[in-house]
A and B are shown apart, each in its own frame.
Chain A
Amino acid sequence: MIRTEEMVLNVGPQHPSTHGVFRLIVKLDGEIITEAIPVIGYLHRGTEKLAEDLQYTQIIPYTDRMDYLSAMTNNYVICHAVETMMGIEIPERAEYLRVMAMELNRIASHLVWWGTFLLDLGAVSPFLYAFREREMIINLLNELSGGRLTYNYMRVGGVKWDAPDGWIEKVKEFVPYMREQLAGYHSLVTGNEIFMNRVSGIGKYTKEDALNYSLSGANLRSTGVKWDLRKDEPYSIYDRFDFNVITEEGGDALARYHVRTKEIEESLKIVEQACEQFPSGGEILAKVPKIIKAPKGEAFVRIESPRGEIGCYICSDGKKEPYRLKFRRPSFYNLQILPKLLKGENIANMIAILGAIDIVLGEVDG
């Protein structure tokens, strides 16, 4: 018998594939992982605590920095929570701008995921192709909000800026272009034997596991659970659009890959319809008091971010700052299943499994 020793490998927080400052302590038997302990908190900024001293409008830029790949949905969830408490009616035009911004941001976020996931698997080119398209989305959002990553676009009662002239036309042009590129992505990557080998059957979990671990978003839908808040609890104006909830049965990394790439197509559908229905005029900000004070009480809202269910709980004692603010951050919840998935896998799969979960460290650490 060969006597082997267990090796403890510390992956991160400065490891190229942990997408930020995630740390993973893995115990290895050869290249097989016997135990994995995630360590988080390197990017903790105390958003929730800081918010207790900030006015509602001032909190919005902080939410930009949580899930920095999808700042629009974060903006929305805090605004939506305050609006729900105050019972504010949002102007039509603002709702359309919000939905378009959120869906474009969802596409951009999935593109980053697609690119970096393949980068983890060792293919460099897809990353650059994905970023070419993402750049166009970022330019569109930049024209809208003035920011490229942290938009700070939405306000309680509407949005900060109206769409500049010709913006809708640019979005309309972008949709067919993106579809064409997506077909190109599939011909380059999807179906490639090496790629399929690396993702199919990897990081598999069942429907029950997913529900027990409170997974959401693509991580949940990849097991066949049809749950998308845009359909099941329509917020904003999502009930006006015709789109499908994508589910896959596999529950493995490949299923999550398919869910996300197909979701890009669905988001394109929503953006296309929103462009057609876009009202020609009207307000972009509802009549709200100068100083926003949420009435005494509490509210919890949740929406579908690219990474899953993002929720916002506000407890107010009637002042201009919240008494307590809590975010349900989907990346944080989705990450919990990682140690279970990693046990018994080898190191190469570790990267694929972590990548397929799609975490954003800003959101995990809050």
Chain B
Amino acid sequence: MIQNMLESSPGWFNFIIFFILGVILLFIVLGFVTYSILAERKVMGFMQLRIGPNQVGGRWGLLQTVADVLKLLLKEDIIPKLADKPLFILAPIIAFAPSFMVLATIPFTDKFQFADLGVGLLYYVAVSGMTVFGVLLGGWASNNKYSLLGGARATAQMISYEIPLVMSVLGVILLSGSLNLNKIVEAQAHGWFILLQPIGFIIFIIASTAELSRTPFDLPESESELVAGYHTEYTGFRWAFFMLAEYVYLFAMSALITVLFLGGWMSPFKFLNFIPGSVWFALKFCFVVFIYIWFRVTFPRMRADKLMEFAWKVLLPIALANIFLTALIKSLFFGA
């Protein structure tokens, strides 16, 4: 249905439908962010011998994040006197907007997808790369030394890790023969790419952790060194926007991994086909999110200089070798 409308001539009707769908997705994503933060705190609490939120909204703390967000919205909006005001205001928006834009191409089920782009994967990578501007500008505009260091680190890290990230999915593209995310899912009907591309998967999950700047790659905001990194000077809803961007990316990245490596909406076994695709997607997706949380609880932080070395000297060569290997196997055994 969406595809037909995309191809039809633009008009008010189309616009309104798309607007409404967009708002629905926004609320789904916001709901996800709200409860993934809660889940993260609960899982971390469980792993760290704590209880986690348990007061606001019953004993599961179901309204804790809502209360937190409300508090952030009501907070005084502070812009430091010496900050570069326009950039300071613009930075969180630049950081957030692309994180939401990338969701358009993700096929949540075989029917529910906003834009079935031919180059969906490329679109994702290109648009998500824009977030780094927001982070860099935020660090620069704050006129704070910790922010500057954090922003510079974040930029270096995100750019460096984008390369192995893209290289690692080239194997998937080779196997499926398409950049279209729908086609990639369909190509996994007989075997998920996590099985066919184990090296690619591992590189992708490492590089994506770095892209999300989560532990062990949380250097841009490494609290023990740089206080809060690029968002040291941010408060209230501007800060909330940075955090929102971070968690929406967590959503997007987990969805992308599900699509690229875990077979998207497809069930793992034929006899389980009666369970709807959306359930499968949600299950796989939650598993990926859980893995990210698990990482966060377990690992210490990488060191800044080793981080770069790791991206360029370890991940990139392995990713390139993986492409070569995949191409070789494909042409030898499966014909061109």
Q: Is the CB of B227 within 8 A of A16?
A: yes
Which residues of chain A come closer than 8 Å to B218, judged between CB atoms? Answer: 122
Q: Which residue of B lies closest to A127 (CB)?
A: B48
Indicate whether B47 reaches chain A with its CB closer than 8 angstroms.
Answer: yes
With A7-B145, A31-B149, A194-B299 known to touch, is A122 a contact of B224 (CB < 8 Å)? yes
Q: Which residue of B lies closest to A14 (CB)?
A: B227
With beta carbons under 8 angstroms apart, the residue of B222, B225, B296, B302 that contacts A194 is: B302
Q: Mark B214-226, 1 if CB is under 8 A from A, else 0.
A: 0110110011111
Which residues of chain B come closer than 8 Å to A128, judged between CB atoms? Answer: 48-50
Which residues of chain B come closer than 8 Å to A132, judged between CB atoms? Answer: 49
Q: Is the CB of A9 within 8 A of B145?
A: yes
Quote the shortest CB–CB distance from B179 to chain A (angstroms).
Answer: 34
Interface residues on B, range: 20 to 34
Quote the shortest CB–CB distance from A4 to chain B (angstroms).
Answer: 12
Quote the shortest CB–CB distance from A289 to chain B (angstroms).
Answer: 49
With beta carbons under 8 angstroms apart, the residue of A120, A125, A347 that contacts B298 is: A125
Q: Mark A1-38, 1 if CB is under 8 A from B, else 0.
A: 00000010100000111000000000000010000000
Which residues of chain A come closer than 8 Å to B25, judged between CB atoms? Answer: none
Q: Mark A194-232, 1 if CB is under 8 A from B, else 0.
A: 110110000000000000000000000000000000000
How would you classify the secondary structure of chain B's contact residues: helix, strand, loop or mixed? helix
Which one of B95-103, B125-133, B303-311 is at the interface? B303-311
Quote the shortest CB–CB distance from A12 to chain B (angstroms).
Answer: 11
With beta carbons under 8 angstroms apart, the residue of B47, B146, B301 that contacts A125 is: B47
Chain A positions near chain B (C-beta within 8 angstroms):
7, 9, 15-17, 31, 118-125, 128-129, 132, 188-189, 192, 194-195, 197-198, 346-351
Q: A121-B224, A124-B296, A347-B225 are in contact. List 20 more A-B contacts (CB 8 A).
A: A7-B145, A16-B224, A17-B224, A31-B304, A118-B300, A119-B224, A122-B223, A122-B224, A122-B300, A122-B301, A123-B215, A124-B297, A129-B48, A129-B49, A189-B300, A192-B299, A194-B299, A198-B301, A346-B304, A351-B224
Shortest 5 CB-CB distances between A and B: which pairs?
A122-B301, A123-B300, A17-B224, A121-B300, A128-B48
Q: 15 pairs across A/B with beta carbons < 8 Å?
A: A9-B145, A17-B224, A118-B300, A123-B298, A129-B49, A132-B49, A194-B300, A195-B300, A198-B301, A198-B306, A346-B304, A346-B305, A347-B225, A348-B219, A348-B305
